[in-house]
Amino acid sequence: MSLSGGCVIAGIGQTPFTRGTEKSTVGLHLDAALEAIADAGLKPSDIDGVMPNELAGTIAEDFIVNLGLENVTFSSTMRHGGASLLSAVKSACLAVHTGVAKHVLLVAGRRGFSQQRMSKASEGTIPPHPLFREFNEFESPFGNTAPLQWFAPAAMRHMHEFGTTSEQLGRIALTCREHANLNPRALMHDKKMTMEDYLASPMIADPYRKFDCSLETDGATAFVITSAERGRDLKKAGVPILGLGEGHGTPPTSMTHKRDMTKVEGIEQAGKQAFEMAGLKPRDISSVQLYDAFTWVVLSTLEDLGFCQKGEGGAFVESGVLGLNGGLPLNTSGGLLSEGHCSGANLLSEAVRQLRGEVEPNRQISNCKNILISGEGHFHEGAVAILGRPV
């Protein structure tokens, strides 16, 4: 039994990305949810499945009470870090495919600047992951307390083994910024950046400079997933979900314990599953929307998904292939690095807009057929989705 093409994304909703808001995280989620439901041509009463996001700390009852949902038959929360949203898409499809639910609402994002800041995770701004005990016991006492510090050793190891350079990481940051400059929704829409600006930005955790790190923003994004059959009767043509995959790093603990620090093992596993389910190869992908919490994660993901060989990611990103006219456009909204950090949900919403043809003409991917989206978690967990053109 294959899930490929059986479910569609029928509606999307997104609040503005800001640095400062009077709304609570739940308030942001409700705004995005109502927009997604309306985008699908549905009413809140049509929603019978709810999947809150781990990093937001919300629960199903927040939506049941505030949206007046009376017929919820399915709810679940994935604990998969930055891969949680795409893992939730897979669970939502399973629920729809098996008849457990008809229309599932997924919401992600938070007050990521005003309150729940990842840079202050050690202060309790984000609900603790059970596996954080590894950090709390063995690494936090020595100052390893924030995500960029957890991921810096992997980037440094890649540089040591393969000669990857800061300029190559900077090329990823610049590509995302160039795309954000074309996107009115992006927090960095009017803020241009050069390689000189990138190299002059402060070193935060070697080799990561300030512009290697994703933004901290307030905002939320929501989706409604339903069956392809039901989607044909809704307001807009549903965007088909062709491939899905999920993977976990080995062991699923501290970065320094990994068998191979130079790869995102969960992404590699998830990519193989998603390509197999979709019946596609990397050469069939029109664009990639890759989880870019840090620039090196993008470079490694490109290698681990088979768009280039391991160790060749630096030369690959330098080739210009990731630009809008380069053959494999990357993070065309600006991504987490330059649009906003929404737990990766804005990567998925951008893919839906591109496939619907709903983005600004100057950043619309020509002949866009299939888009791959990735999510990456705290411990090299991974999730991948492949979407196709609406039919």
Provide the pLDDT for residue 115: 74
Give the number of other Cβ atoms within 10 Å of residue 1's Cβ: 5
**pTM of the full predicted structure?**
0.94
* pLDDT mean over 218-244: 96
In the chain, where does DSSP find H-type helix?
A: 25-39, 60-67, 84-97, 133-134, 147-162, 166-180, 195-200, 228-231, 265-278, 295-304, 313-318, 335-338, 345-356
Residue 224: pLDDT band with limits 50, 70, 90: very high
Q: Which helix (H) or strand (E) holds 241?
A: strand 239-247
Provide the pLDDT for residue 2: 76
Provide the pLDDT for residue 136: 57
Is residue 26 classed as helix, strand or coil in its secondary structure?
helix
DSSP single-letter state for residue 272 = H
Share of the chain above pLDDT 70, in %: 91
Residue 132: pLDDT band with limits 50, 70, 90: low
Contacts with 301 (C-beta within 8 Å, 6 or more apart), sequence order: 264, 267, 290, 291, 374, 376
Provide the pLDDT for residue 168: 98
Mean predicted lDDT score pLDDT of the chain: 92
DSSP single-letter state for residue 83 = G
The answer, yes or no, to whether residue 117 has pLDDT greater than 70, is no
pLDDT higher at 125 or 152: 152
Provide the pLDDT for residue 119: 58
pLDDT in tens, 154-181: 999 999 999 999 999 999 999 999 999 9
Nearest to 390 by CA among 43, 85, 40, 14: 40
What's the CA gap between 369 and 336, in Å, rounded? 23
* pLDDT mean over 54-58: 87
From 11-20, 140-149, 205-214, the region with the lowest mean pLDDT:
140-149
The answer, yes or no, to whether residue 200 has pLDDT greater than 60, is yes
Sheet holding 74-75, edge to edge: 74-75, 49-51, 104-111, 218-227, 7-14, 239-247, 382-388, 370-376, 287-289
* pLDDT mean over 4-27: 96
pLDDT in tens, 243-299: 999 998 777 666 667 778 888 999 999 999 999 999 999 999 999 999 999 999 999
Provide the pLDDT for residue 43: 97
What's the CA gap between 311 and 202, in Å, rounded? 26
258, 290 Cβ separation under 8 angstroms? no
Q: Which helix (H) or strand (E) holds 203?
A: strand 203-205
Provide the pLDDT for residue 133: 54
336, 294 Cβ separation under 8 angstroms? no
The answer, yes or no, to whether residue 386 has pLDDT greater than 60, is yes
Provide the pLDDT for residue 140: 67
What's the CA gap between 269 and 162, in Å, rounded? 22
The answer, yes or no, to whether residue 83 has pLDDT greater than 60, is yes
From 1-10, 119-128, 156-165, the region with the lowest mean pLDDT:
119-128
Provide the pLDDT for residue 151: 86
Domains and CATH numbers, the chain: 7-114+216-388 (3.40.47.10)
Task: Indicate the pairing of strand 370-376 with strand 287-289.
Answer: parallel
What's the CA gap between 92 and 105, in Å, rounded? 8
Provide the pLDDT for residue 128: 53
The answer, yes or no, to whether residue 379 has pLDDT greater than 90, is no
Angle among Cα 125, 211, 379 to the nearest 5 degrees reads 50
pLDDT in tens, 353-366: 999 999 999 999 99
From 76-80, 230-234, 325-329, the region with the lowest mean pLDDT:
76-80
